[in-house]
Amino acid sequence: MPSRFAGRRNVIDRLVHLYRIGDLGQSYLFLGPEGSGKELTALEVARLINCPTPDACADIPNCESCLKAVTFQHPDIRWIGPAPASTGEADTTRLFAAKQEDPFHQPAWASSSEVLIGDPDRPAPLTVRSILQFLRVKPFQGTTKVAVVADAHRLRSGAANAFLKVLEEPPSDALILLLSSVRSGVLPTIQSRCQRIPFGPYTEQELAALLGELYDLDADHAATLARRGGGNARRAARLRLPLARVLSAWGQQLIQSVHEDRCGTAMLAAEALHKGVLPGGLVERINEDGGAGTPLRNSPVKELAEKRERAILLCEILHLIYSEIMGCRVRGDDWRPAQPADAPWIASLAADRSPESLLRDIGSLERVRRDIERNLNIGLVTAVLFQELSRHAREDRTTLV
Ligand SMILES: [Zn+2]
């Protein structure tokens, strides 16, 4: 288990310093791409400003307050984020246990849910009203109530308006940290009440060091993941897990069949995604290889959220592979592959493709990912995707021959 939250040092130091000199603002908007450490930074700030012995706990949580903070049990620190309406205490406990185990953990439902307002009398744990209730009470153990709202661009409109009221008049002993990767998705009225702190993607070196430390990886493995993660720590962390490894192998097979114009194979894949089925042979192979994470079950998933999660992750992985093909095509000899072992395969595909057409592939993938997040039919949108990818490759073959 990681012993501490690993956030962005410069922001943590700055906010903790402002707190110590009595100059900390009341609400901040952390704005930066997905996987840029916003949440870890917010949780680390929350821990440090509530710690009674900050010198002893600077790097490792040593006191009772810090131990509660890192286990999501601190009474004065509260995290909310997108979650389905049915999310109850037990789901929340499971979520926090998983986040404690892996700070980059994201539940299957995260990418297609919204931050909900919650019931007026008995708000569910991850809703806006639950955090408003929390902020109404004086700090219980620490000095400052810290409310962390992940994916603030996913606040449903009623929820955003309810939240706006507390931003207009925040309690004096509260710190509100809103996190978002989509600036245009956060209401301007909310943005204007917050001080904005920009987050950039991790550099490859920072990311490799972070992954190595968090997951105890050897340097080569951490460096490969960091390169594939492209500055996104959440994605890089996820790529080491069995599901992503199965989807990576599957993604390679799919791209190969698309380039060989074996569209039937890709259509079967769309159907499998719709049904929540993974290729059995690949699951067995990856499970036998071992490595991080729980082995995958070789049976269909029933939950729609889980099917969506898989389809979105497959889109991300295909996006990574097409970006590699593009990199190889455009940079030629200067191209540095993310995974050297795949270099010959990538180069052979790149030879038959034009940059314009590869851009269209990448555009199709981005659109389909958004469609799946918007809850469109997985089988349908991925079938259209594979047809488009095949068509682009076919057009290149006819024009480049
Ligand atoms: Zn402490």
pLDDT at 4 over 80: no
Please indicate, yes or no, whether residues 252 and 309 belong to a single structural domain of this protein.
yes
Residue-number span of the structural domain to which 390 is assigned: 241-400
The answer to whether position 225 is within a domain reads no
Distance 65 CA to ligand 1 centre (A): 6
Tokens of 312: 């979105």
Whether residue 321 contacts residue 362, with contact meaning beta carbons closer than 8 Å, is answered with no
Q: How far apart are CA 7 and CA 355, in angstroms?
A: 37
Please indicate, yes or no, whether residues 15 and 164 belong to a single structural domain of this protein.
yes
Whether residue 303 contacts residue 108, with contact meaning beta carbons closer than 8 Å, is answered with yes
Q: What is the total residue count of the chain? A: 401
Distance 212 CA to ligand 1 centre (A): 25
pLDDT at 386 over 50: yes
Total domains in the chain come to: 2
Distance 2 CA to ligand 1 centre (A): 16
Which among 383, 251, 233 has a CA at the least distance from the CA of 317? 251
Distance 71 CA to ligand 1 centre (A): 13
Distance 78 CA to ligand 1 centre (A): 17
Which among 92, 6, 81 has a CA at the least distance from the CA of 47? 6
Please indicate, yes or no, whether residues 168 and 31 belong to a single structural domain of this protein.
yes
Looking at residue 299, which CATH number applies to its domain?
Answer: 1.20.272
Q: Phi/psi of residue 145, each to 5°?
A: -80, 125
Please indicate, yes or no, whether residues 273 and 326 belong to a single structural domain of this protein.
yes
The answer to whether position 385 is within a domain reads yes
Distance 66 CA to ligand 1 centre (A): 4
Query: HEC states along 231-294?
Result: CCHHHHHHCCCHHHHHHHHHHHHHHHHHHCCCHHHHHHHHHHHHHCCCCHHHHHHHHHHCCCCC
Please indicate, yes or no, whether residues 173 and 53 belong to a single structural domain of this protein.
yes
Q: How far apart are CA 247 and CA 265, in angstroms?
A: 15
* pLDDT tens string 256-288: 999 998 888 889 999 999 999 999 999 999 988
Please indicate, yes or no, whether residues 117 and 21 belong to a single structural domain of this protein.
yes
Please indicate, yes or no, whether residues 184 and 258 belong to a single structural domain of this protein.
no
Distance 17 CA to ligand 1 centre (A): 16
The answer to whether position 128 is within a domain reads yes
The answer to whether position 122 is within a domain reads yes
The answer to whether position 315 is within a domain reads yes
The confidence band for 398, taking pLDDT boundaries of 50, 70 and 90, is confident
Could you tell me the CA-to-CA distances from 5 to 25, 27, 58, 102 in Å, in that order? 22, 21, 11, 10
Distance 76 CA to ligand 1 centre (A): 14
Distance 248 CA to ligand 1 centre (A): 41
Please indicate, yes or no, whether residues 121 and 258 belong to a single structural domain of this protein.
no
Assign residue 290 a region (left: φ > 0; alpha: ψ between -120 and 50; beta: otherwise). Answer: left
The answer to whether position 272 is within a domain reads yes
Distance 61 CA to ligand 1 centre (A): 5
Distance 216 CA to ligand 1 centre (A): 24
The answer to whether position 1 is within a domain reads no
pLDDT of residue 3: 43
pTM: 0.88
Looking at residue 90, which CATH number applies to its domain?
Answer: 3.40.50.300
Could you tell me the CA-to-CA distances from 203 to 34, 223, 234, 298 in Å, in that order? 14, 11, 13, 36
Distance 63 CA to ligand 1 centre (A): 4
pLDDT at 1 over 50: no
pLDDT of residue 297: 84
Please indicate, yes or no, whether residues 92 and 187 belong to a single structural domain of this protein.
yes
Distance 256 CA to ligand 1 centre (A): 53
Distance 77 CA to ligand 1 centre (A): 14
Mean pLDDT for 69-79 is 95
Distance 298 CA to ligand 1 centre (A): 43
Please indicate, yes or no, whether residues 86 and 148 belong to a single structural domain of this protein.
yes
Distance 47 CA to ligand 1 centre (A): 7
The answer to whether position 216 is within a domain reads no
